Every structure is written in C-alpha cells, then in structure tokens.
Structure 1
Amino acid sequence: MSNKRDLLIHYDEENQKFIFYMLEASDTAALRAKTFDGVCPEVAFFKERAPDDAEKTMGSMVFAALDHGSINRVSIRDYKSESEVAMREYVTELEVAAQNNDPEAQYSLFMEYHSRTMRSGNSSDLQRAEELLIASANAGYAPAKKALDDWTLLKAAAEWRIDRGPSV
C-alpha cells in the first residue's frame, strides 16, 4: 500500500530549471499548516473543462504562482497584469451579486474593500467594507458572522492605516 504524497515544485532560479519532488504528505503537514492556502480550486473546477483546457489552466496557475514568489521570474506571460485584469472582472461580478443580496458575494467584497483600505488608506473603502460585512452577517452567512465578531480589531487596524496617510 502506498502512502499519500504531495507534489512540491521548486523553481531553481540560479540554474533556470524546475524540480518536482514527490514527498510523503505527512512530511509536508507542518509546512501546509502554517502556510496561507492561496488558490484552492476544487477538482470539479478542472473536470468541468476539456482535458487540454484543464491542463492549460493548471499550468498557467503554476507559472503565475512561481512568478509571484520569484526574484527572476519565468515570465512565460505577464501574469501580474493578467491577474489584475482577472481581479477587476471578479470584483465586478461580485458587485452585481452583492447588489442582488448574495451574502457570499457581500462577504468576499467586504474582504476586498478591507484589503483596499489597508493598501490605500481610503476611508470610503472602509465604510463600504463595513456595510458589506453587516449585510452578509445579517443574511446569516457564517464567515461574515465570525468576522463581525472581530470587526472592532479589523476596523481599528484599517483606521490606523487611514490615519497614517498615503504611502510614499
């Protein structure tokens, strides 16, 4: 019987090559536990596509992730620009869904607006974040209800960022 294994992809920037490691899942558990989950597509996301499209999508996700964490990027594409365009499209879709009282979309937008506040220090983004969080929590969305419990701290951090003023 074989044990569950994880795939670790290492980009050796100095030698310009990729190294694929198959590791025991139990050996990577501690690393996975303390690492942000990042992009977590469901298997169904890929199975809904034609095999070539699923492989292409997975490959672009891997290259984008590797470039994001690299000093000497692979630069197969301009993933940063593509990601920014995709994010704008995603936020537009969320805005429509949130206006239609979708509590999950409201919560996702809350996180986006809070994040914007932390980057830009814009108080109107914080106000919008709070409105979205409250709407989502009032609709009974569990993650929003949990975040609302922490809102005092999250809001204080954002207000501190706003008080600091624009980044230079």
Structure 2
Amino acid sequence: MHQEEIKDYEAMIGLCHCKSTTRNQEGTWNDPQDITWEWKYIMNGTAVQDETLKADGSHSGSIRQFIKDSSRWYVHWYNSKSPATTFPVWEGRKAKDRIILYKEQKAPNGTAGYSRLSFYDFKKTGYKWIGEWVNRDETIVYPTWKIVCLRRTE
C-alpha cells in the first residue's frame, strides 16, 4: 500500500552527481570527493533505497521505511568498508522543508548527544545533505560531513 509519507523522498529519486566533504581529525575540511547518489522506491512503493558510489570503490546505502505507529522514518545504513551483522539506525521525520534524522551518539569527549542527518534545499536540480553532532538540547552543533548533489541531466 502506498503511504503518503513516501513523498518525503520524492525530490531525491533518481541519480545525482555529488560533492562529499568530510571533516578530518584536526577539525578542518578535507577536499571534496565526487560521489554518485542513486535513489529508488522499493517494496512496491512502501520504502526507499539509496546507494552511494564513490571513486575509491567504496559504497554505502540505506533502506528507509516509514512506520505509522511512531510517525517516523527508520533508516538502516550499511557500507562496504565495514560490513556489520546489525546496521546503525537513524530515525526522524520531515519537518517543514527538511528531513531530519537522529541516532544517539556521544561526542569524542564523552558528551551525550546525537548524530543528526538533514536533507534540505530540495530543488529540481538537486538537494543538500549535512551530518552533524549535536548535544541533547541541540545548543551545540558540530558539522562533520556535507554533501551537495546535482541531478544528472543526461
């Protein structure tokens, strides 16, 4: 059965060329890396799958399912560099013009907080994504990864 919430990811369905930039141990930003990010509906239109393909041959992806009982998206993430028997899971929802997902995660100094992932700036030409560490009340926000995607036009 088609869920109304599946439209949350509508702007990302298809293939985009992206620039992915991560923060290094020293706190400065690494050079941007080229990635391809592909999105598609799966499970008869009740879930979304995405996959990133990177120049270094590594890949990652996720399965996204909306669970009505909690009114949240659950995102199960996997990657080729560190296969796992259980996948990390972020949860969240679309709020206004952003999809925001959280997973509990301590900062390197042990402070309790979350990994916060946000999709935003949705346009026909592409979208943006940012990964951040935030403390529990979100008064501290530390960006760790950002991706800018442009829709493939060929």
Structure 1 and Structure 2 fold alike (TM over 0.5): no
**TM-score tier after normalising by the smaller chain length:** under 0.3
Greater C-alpha Rg: 1
Pick the structure with more strand per residue. Answer: 2
Q: Scaled by the length of structure 2, what TM-score is found?
A: 0.20
Q: Scaled by the length of structure 1, what TM-score is found?
A: 0.19
